[in-house]
Chain A
């Protein structure tokens, strides 16, 4: 049997990874909550943002944490434009259609990355990568602690933005009642584009927080998209609280799965949770409807 100390360390590491997952999932759940579309390109756009972080470091020497505002703003712009040019005009009709369109976006993004950046696994060497802090008996990598903390701060800022700012209130109004929002003079199409942009901006921030301890390949998007969907379905589609709780739960699941079942088989837990939630409780933990 495994030492409880090792399990504790596994749980803590899972929580730290979960913090960043929360940020990724909040972006996905925001897009679903407001636009009612399932953004299959979510993982691929995260992958592109991770490449952006990598090249800012490689070419300009920017530390991932320093490039965070830049990449987040850039990701917002990419999301906004992508919505205006591709997602928005085509996102009517059957819900499978928009799923297929975002699948098309992800195919283009993944293969563009493979074409231009090659298939190698790329990592960033930061001087603080090996720094460790001790919590009780567990040793935690410093960059993971910073990233998790930063991810939660960003989520809180986003929450404040959604509740306090006029734009945030307009987004919530559109999510609640499209027609009504239009009647009181909200430009719904603009709010859709802004919401999609914010969803992708979350990915930009997450990419900066991931890169100090993670790697990127053209396949990274596919790896993350399943994790992100599982979190959002587990928490309940469109629910922010659900995304937060789901993110930590999945982080722990992944960490403990790897511990007990090995790196290969450990990944099966996430897909199984996804299937079981959809089959047994499609509204998730905090969702109001499927």
Chain B
């Protein structure tokens, strides 16, 4: 039953862009993309319970690494992408080693990640190599060899592919000993340590993995829009977006970020539709964010396992 539902959902996702206007295909692409970066947050924030307020730091490092390698050093973006992921993983490991060596937990870890993202944002705003606040433009040359596509449907399938890979990683976490150790750390760090789990190493590993994934999202974003600036890359909006979709959908579940992304995308499109009927609501973006914020409060307070917990069996290991 479950397999049939998943196969049907996959088929629907495959034919979706062929059936709808371009605008809705782009909406779908962004939905899968957000689910992907949300999953990168979920891996460390959900499964391992290390709430981060600054995941944009990995997103931005990924976006800037591949863009700078391309623009300033003439790298091919397909080669720059793994390098960007390596950088994201490195920054993740660095932040994790510093923070966890200092024994930061819970809210303190969340706040220090925010401060790291802020340091990167200000540095990117001032450094010559990033062109400061002007941002970096990638030259448009729409050939697949350049990680750019004339037909946007390929960008959609790429986002879908990323999302599927991230789901596979999350699925693997629910099956592997590594994932079980992460859940043990989330539920009770001291107990996990007493069981002989090397808490520090496991936390560094998970942040490395999460950072590398999120960096791939940064490269994807830069290649789609061919532009990146410090506020897009390192601003709090991206960090909050990743956290929101995961918390709303269900932190620590396989499908949480995807469900959250579907929910938030739907709200976004509904407010857009409402705004076209009631012109008073001319400002769509803040309105949907108000709804997101209210949902975050309600979910954390009333449904801590997110929407995913509404779908039958709890996957909350």
Does A5 reach chain B (CB closer than 8 Å)?
A: no
Does A105 reach chain B (CB closer than 8 Å)?
A: yes
Does A55 reach chain B (CB closer than 8 Å)?
A: no
Closest to A93 in B: B304
B58 → A minimal CB distance (Å): 16
The residue from A86, A97, A268 contacting B119, defined by CB atoms under 8 A apart: A268
Query: What string of 1s and 0s marks CB contacts (under 8 Å) between A219-259 and chain B?
Result: 00010001001000100000000000000000000000000
The residue from B102, B122, B125, B294 contacting A280, defined by CB atoms under 8 A apart: B102
Q: Please report which residues of chain A, range 251-290, place their CB below 8 angstroms from some CB of chain B when the two chains form the complex.
A: 262, 264-265, 267-268, 271-272, 274-275, 278-280, 282, 290
If over half of A's interface residues share one DSSP class (helix, strand or loop), that class is named, otherwise mixed; here it is helix
Assess whether B293 is in contact with A101, with CB atoms less than 8 Å apart. no
Assess whether A38 is in contact with B107, with CB atoms less than 8 Å apart. yes
Assess whether B294 is in contact with A96, with CB atoms less than 8 Å apart. no
A14 → B minimal CB distance (Å): 18
The residue from B107, B115, B243, B283 contacting A275, defined by CB atoms under 8 A apart: B115
Q: Please report which residues of chain B, range 250-295, place their CB below 8 angstroms from some CB of chain A when the two chains form the complex.
A: 283, 285-287, 289-290, 292-295
Residues of B within 8 A of A264 (CB): 122, 125-126, 132-133
Does B104 reach chain A (CB closer than 8 Å)?
A: yes
Given the interface pairs A272-B119, A274-B115, the reply to whether A114 lies near B283 with Cβ below 8 Å is yes
Given the interface pairs A105-B293, A107-B290, the reply to whether A267 lies near B122 with Cβ below 8 Å is yes
Assess whether B300 is in contact with A268, with CB atoms less than 8 Å apart. no
Query: What string of 1s and 0s marks CB contacts (under 8 Å) between A80-96 and chain B?
Result: 00000010011001111
Does A104 reach chain B (CB closer than 8 Å)?
A: yes
Q: Please report which residues of chain B, range 105-163, place their CB below 8 angstroms from some CB of chain A when the two chains form the complex.
A: 106-108, 110-112, 114-116, 118-119, 122-123, 125-126, 132-133
Query: What string of 1s and 0s marks CB contacts (under 8 Å) between A194-234 and chain B?
Result: 00000000000000000000000000001000100100010
Does A103 reach chain B (CB closer than 8 Å)?
A: yes
Does A8 reach chain B (CB closer than 8 Å)?
A: no
Assess whether A111 is in contact with B287, with CB atoms less than 8 Å apart. yes
A281 → B minimal CB distance (Å): 9
Closest to B125 in A: A264
Does A157 reach chain B (CB closer than 8 Å)?
A: no
Docked CA distance A279–B108 (Å):
10
Does B24 reach chain A (CB closer than 8 Å)?
A: no
Does A156 reach chain B (CB closer than 8 Å)?
A: no
Docked CA distance A61–B296 (Å):
38
Closest to B240 in A: A107
Docked CA distance A280–B108 (Å):
13
Does B245 reach chain A (CB closer than 8 Å)?
A: no
The residue from A96, A110, A229, A233 contacting B51, defined by CB atoms under 8 A apart: A96
Assess whether B122 is in contact with A107, with CB atoms less than 8 Å apart. no
Given the interface pairs A95-B107, A271-B115, A282-B102, the reply to whether A103 lies near B53 with Cβ below 8 Å is yes
4 smallest beta-carbon distances between A and B, as pairs: A107-B293, A111-B286, A104-B297, A104-B296
* 10 A-B pairs with C-beta separation under 8 A: A86-B297, A103-B296, A104-B296, A104-B297, A108-B293, A264-B133, A265-B122, A271-B119, A278-B111, A279-B98
